[in-house]
Structure 1
C-alpha cells in the first residue's frame, strides 16, 4: 500500500511539472503542499476535507492556524506548511507592487489588499505609503480594532507619512461583515485624513475597503 501511495505522489509531481501546474486540481495542489508535512500516508482525503470545510483553495491558505488545527489529521507540521504557502503568496504579491508606480498597477494593488485583509475577522487599518513618483515604499498596519470598528487618527497617519518621507498614501481597511460599502463614519474620517494630510502637502489617493470577496474604492465611487 505504501508503494502505491509513493507511486501516486510521483505521478502527481510528474503531471504537475509536465502541465506547468495546469493539469492538477485544487485538492491535488493541496496534496502536494501537504506532502512535505506528511511524508507517509495518503493525504488526498485530508486535502478534500480542507477544501470542503473552508470552501476554496484561497480560503484554506488564509484560514487562521487555530481553525486549521481543529481539522482532524492537521498536526503542527501540516498547519505550518499551509501558512508557509500563504506567506509565500503574500510576499510575491507585495514584490509585484513594491517600488512600482502604484497607480499603473491598480489591479495588483487591489489583489494584494484583498489577499492580506479579506479573510480577517477584525477590522484593521493599513496604510500604503508612496513616494513623490507614486511608488510604494512601505505597507504598514496602523491600527487593529474590533469586529466592526477601527480607530483612525489623522494626526498619526500624517506623522507616519512624514517619517517615511511619503508624498502620498492610500488608506486600506476591511469590513469583516463582508460588505465593503463605505459607512458614513468611513466617509467622514477619510475627509479628516485628507484635510490633515493636505497641510503637509501629502496627497491621499484613495481609501480602499476590503470585503470578503470584493473591494471598493472611494475614488471609483466618487467619494474622493
Structure 2
C-alpha cells in the first residue's frame, strides 16, 4: 500500500523529470518546438520550483487567449489569477520587457524611416493586444533618429485623450524636428475614426507653423495597422 508521502514523492520525481526534459530541449536548440503552455510552464517553474506549473500555464493561456496575449496582460489582471504571485507575474513580465527591448533595437539605433517595418513590429508587439487605448508620440531629430518614445495617455476601452497644444509643446521642449503619432484600437479594427483624422490634421497644422513635421499617425489593431499618411489623410 502506498502512503500519501510516497505519492507526493513520485509526483515530485515526475515533475523534476519533466522539467529536465524541457530544459534539455531549450539548451539544445529545440526550444522553438515547445508549445506555448510549455514555455509558460517553464517560466513559472523558475518562480514556483516546488509546484507542478503545467495546469496553471494551460489555464493562463486559455484565460488570456494566447501566449502574446498573456505577456501583454495587465499586471493586476495576472495577480488576480489564483496561484499567481508577484514573483510569477514578474517572470512573465521580464520576458515581455526583453522581447520588446530586442524588437525595438533597430528603432532605437537607426533612422526611423529606414527601419519602418521594425517600428511596426515593435508597436504591434507592445500595443496590439491591449484592452485599453494607449497614445504615444515618437520624437525624432533632424536625421529622423529617435529622441524619445513617450506615452501621452492611456484611456478606457473606447478612447484616450490627446491634446494638440500638449503634443506641440512637448516637441518644442525636446527640440523635435518631427514626430510620429501612434495609438491602438482595442476593438482590433485599425480603421481611423473621424476624431483620429481631425486631431491628426490639427497637430499637422500646428506643427507646420513651428517647423515640426508630422511624418505619420499609425493606428495599431490586433489584425494589422493603418498609416494615415499612406491613406492620403496627412
The alignment partner of 2:33 has SS state of: coil
- Alignment pair present for 1:93 and 2:107: no
* Distance in 2 (alpha carbons) for counterparts of 1:141 and 1:65: 18
Partner of 1:115: 125
Q: Structure 1: which 5+ residue stretches go unaligned?
A: none
Contact 1:99 1:137 in 2 (8 A): no
* Distance in 1 (alpha carbons) for counterparts of 2:131 and 2:124: 13
Could you give the per-residue CA deviations for residues 27-60 of structure 1, whole angstroms, max 9, x where no partner exists?
A: 1111121121111122111111111111211011
CA deviation after TM superposition for structure 1 residue 123, in Å: 2.2
Contact 1:210 1:216 in 2 (8 A): yes
* Distance in 2 (alpha carbons) for counterparts of 1:93 and 1:138: 16
Partner of 2:36: 26
- Alignment pair present for 1:130 and 2:140: yes
Cα root mean square deviation, aligned: 1.6
Could you give the per-residue CA deviations for residues 160-198 of structure 1, whole angstroms, max 9, x where no partner exists?
A: 112222111100012222221101111111011001111
CA deviation after TM superposition for structure 1 residue 20, in Å: 4.9
TM-score normalised by structure 2 residue count: 0.89
Contact 2:43 2:92 in 1 (8 A): yes
Task: Specify which of 38, 43, 48 is matched with residue 38 of structure 1.
Answer: 48
Partner of 1:222: 232
After TM superposition, the structure 1 stretch with the greater mean CA deviation from structure 2, 200-209 or 82-91, is 82-91
Contact 1:16 1:23 in 2 (8 A): no
Q: Structure 2: which 5+ residue stretches go unaligned?
A: 1-9
* Distance in 1 (alpha carbons) for counterparts of 2:61 and 2:158: 28
* Distance in 2 (alpha carbons) for counterparts of 1:64 and 1:213: 20
Contact 2:73 2:130 in 1 (8 A): no
The alignment partner of 1:121 has SS state of: coil
Which runs of 4 or more aligned residues in structure 1 lie more than 4 Å from their structure 2 counterparts after TM superposition?
A: none
Matches within 5 A, 1:50-199: 50-199=60-209
TM-score normalised by structure 1 residue count: 0.92
Contact 2:45 2:52 in 1 (8 A): no
Which is higher, the Rg of structure 1 or of structure 2? 2
Change (3 A) 1:99 1:165: farther
